[in-house]
């Protein structure tokens, strides 16, 4: 598993690392399954998530899997910051938000994402 808990200014953030998986949808699915099993064991509305999709293709094959995972974990997530999502990936991310009701905030820089996550 590539994803891990990190700490930033005293706050715990689940860093979901889907970066550099390019077109490997099987690897994205495996990683997503592992992070889902972590998130569902956390208290409701408690998890700060930073998802990194840099250099990873998100296509229509992954959308149902991402949608299902979001529905299962949505009540546990407090905020989600997303890195590496531009162009068509951004359109798919916005579509995911509409399907699940789980808002995503997009960032170019990891530091900005962390700052936003810990702000209230």
> What tens digit of pLDDT does each residue of 38-66 get?
999 999 999 999 999 999 988 878 888 98
Three-class SS of residue 83? Answer: strand
Which CATH number applies to 4-118: 3.30.1370.60, 3.30.750.24, 3.90.226.10, 3.40.50.970?
3.30.750.24
pLDDT of residue 78: 97
Beta strands in the chain (DSSP E): 4-8, 11-17, 47-52, 77-83, 105-107
pTM of the model: 0.90
């Amino acid at each position: 598993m590539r994803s891990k808990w990190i700490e930033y200014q005293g706050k715990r953030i689940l860093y979901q690392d889907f970066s550099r998986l390019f077109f490997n949808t099987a690897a994205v699915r495996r990683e997503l399954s592992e992070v889902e099993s972590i998130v569902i064991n956390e208290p409701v509305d408690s998890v700060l998530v930073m998802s990194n999709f840099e250099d990873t293709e998100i296509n229509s094959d992954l959308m149902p899997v991402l949608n299902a995972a979001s529905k299962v974990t949505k009540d546990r997530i407090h905020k989600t910051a997303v890195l590496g999502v531009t162009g068509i990936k951004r359109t798919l991310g916005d579509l995911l938000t509409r399907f699940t009701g789980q808002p995503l905030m997009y960032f170019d820089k990891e530091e900005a994402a962390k700052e936003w996550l810990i702000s209230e």
